[in-house]
Amino acid sequence: MSKPKIKPLKKILIANRGEIALRIIRTCREMGIKTVSVFSTADRESLHVKFADEAVCIGPPPSKDSYLSMAKIMATAEVTGSDAIHPGYGFLAENAKFATICGEYGVKFIGPTPSQISSMGDKITAKETMKKAGVPVIPGSEGLMTDVNEGKKLAAEMGYPVILKATAGGGGKGMRIVWEEKEMENALNTARQEAGAAFGNDGMYMEKYIEEPRHIEIQVAGDQYGKACHLSERDCSIQRRHQKLLEESPSPFVTQELREKMGKAAIAACNAISYEGVGTVEFLVDKHRNFYFMEMNTRIQVEHCVTEEVINFDLIKEQIKIAMGEPISGKNYFPTMHAIECRVNAEDPHNDFRPSPGKITTLHTPGGHGVRIDSHIYDGYQIPPYYDSMIAKIICTAQTRIEAIHTMERALGEYVIEGVKTTIPFHQALMRDKNFRDGNFNTSFIQTFKW
Ligand code: MV4
């Protein structure tokens, strides 16, 4: 290990909006670091604008002209004298080109290196890297699938169902489940087309389809000196159309033995690429508790808070310390509490979760013991229609899972948001569900959830 060289950061530009921008501002303030917010004209009245030390308008509402504009963000970093950029999640957080440009301008990108981002952005490369590192991967094609007949042959060997995935994909786009041979040709063609249109890359690969898996991910952190640790798991199985609705830690399905095994695999994943920053290694876990590498997210995630609560640890502070060149201790963290996060979206859960932007006319926010609210909304706030519909996260923490559920029921009942529809009633129904309460769920749960 080379000798640690610490470069303090004095001013951080936050290339994001909403609750995550606020979350980052809060930690910066505690660390005595100045903050610069950027905003679109749709976000003029946003709290991330008011709470930052400086704020600069970078363009009109569409993301591509504001929060995704590398030129405008770099120019803002330059004129404000920012020495680092925190990308949050979404937008430019996993954009290797942006991380490269930051480097060229001498602005520290708070996150992994461009090559680390790229190596996980291409799913076939990621999978090959993991396989070499001894991390279990899902059986499937060796690299790219070039020919339908080759695909049919492999699928016949592995047995149906199989799944076709886009190498540039992730989060469900360009994916097809194939149940029998006669569907193969059409599935491959349509998925390939979808991937080409969405990512400008139509490379596809095949895997054995794991039925009714759980989505369990391991939080990791690595420093600039090649040391990595894990911070235990989050269960993110409660999803709808690849959008997570609720996350928790620890997973009701994970034993201490499995946690340690998955933690080791996640650390091996980091070591394989000398990962710098905080990140998440996603696994699919089957009913026999076999786990398989799925993807690595090279950013802070929405659900990072549940980990923060169960291990009592500020992950944003850790990101900044790693970016400054501080070495990590290398010890792993295990949950001492139970935390559940419900995502509150401005959507109508009775109407196919249709977005419900508009003005918040009444707001009462829950509080009290064990309740954390991460949100950028306020009374009179106008939710713009241009961005993600998440308006708040409720994170409830207690000593046991059932107590965390009781706290969540109480907090959901206290939350009053008028003027827009929200997913709060959905979460209330979920908290009362027998299977949810029993920890008996997988990624198919929401498909059959009636309320
Ligand atoms: C799978 C799978 C079953 N078998 N791969 C969904 C998003 C993308 N990250 C990969 N996904 C899946 N990959 C194999 N071989 C099932 C899914 C999947 C899923 C995964 C996690 C959470 C929710 C999901 C919902 C549907 C499908």
Ligand 1, closest atom to CA 172?
7
- Please tell me the distance between residue 306's alpha carbon and the centre of ligand 1 in angstroms: 22
- Please tell me the distance between residue 33's alpha carbon and the centre of ligand 1 in angstroms: 39
210 lines ligand 1 (CB under 6 A): yes
Helix (H, G, I), strand (E, B) or coil at 427: helix
Quote the CA–CA distance of 273 and 131 in Å, as a whole number: 13
277 lines ligand 1 (CB under 6 A): no
Average pLDDT, stretch 233-261? 98
Containing structural domain, residue 63: 11-110
Helix (H, G, I), strand (E, B) or coil at 442: coil
Q: Which of 183, 208, 233 is the last residue of a domain?
A: 208
Q: What is the pLDDT of residue 3?
A: 78
Shared domain for 220 and 201, answered yes or no, is: no
- State the CB neighbour count (10 A cutoff) for residue 379: 14
> Which two structure tokens, joined as six digits, stand for 229?
């640790």
> Which two structure tokens, joined as six digits, stand for 318?
């850790």
| DSSP code at position 272 | H
Nearest to 35 by CA among 68, 12, 58: 12
Average pLDDT, stretch 110-133? 97
Any domain includes 286: yes
Quote the CA–CA distance of 32 and 99 in Å, as a whole number: 24
**Average pLDDT over the chain, rounded to an integer:** 97
Nearest to 15 by CA among 93, 79, 111: 93
Four-point Cα dihedral 433, 419, 52, 20, nearest 10: 20
Any domain includes 276: yes
pLDDT exceeds cutoff 70 at 1: no
Q: What is the pLDDT of residue 173?
A: 82
- Please tell me the distance between residue 297's alpha carbon and the centre of ligand 1 in angstroms: 15
Domain of 403, CATH number, reads 3.30.470.20
For 17-70, the pLDDT digits (tens) are 999 999 999 999 999 999 999 999 999 999 999 999 999 999 999 999 999 999
Contact 228, 329 (CB under 8 A): no
Ligand 1, closest atom to CA 207?
15
For 155-170, the pLDDT digits (tens) are 999 999 999 999 999 8
Shared domain for 268 and 288, answered yes or no, is: yes
Quote the CA–CA distance of 327 and 6 in Å, as a whole number: 9
For 368-420, the pLDDT digits (tens) are 999 999 999 999 999 999 999 999 999 999 999 999 999 999 999 999 999 99
pLDDT exceeds cutoff 80 at 152: yes
Shared domain for 225 and 326, answered yes or no, is: yes
162 lines ligand 1 (CB under 6 A): no
293 lines ligand 1 (CB under 6 A): no
Contact 233, 262 (CB under 8 A): yes
For 268-302, the pLDDT digits (tens) are 999 999 999 999 999 999 999 999 999 999 999 99
- Please tell me the distance between residue 140's alpha carbon and the centre of ligand 1 in angstroms: 14
Contact 318, 30 (CB under 8 A): no
For 163, phi then psi, to 5°, come to -130, 135
Q: Which residue has the tokens 């802070």?
A: 300
Burial class of residue 258 (count of CB atoms within 10 Å of its CB; 0-12, 13-18, 19+): middle
Quote the CA–CA distance of 375 and 93 in Å, as a whole number: 20
163 lines ligand 1 (CB under 6 A): yes
Shared domain for 105 and 165, answered yes or no, is: no
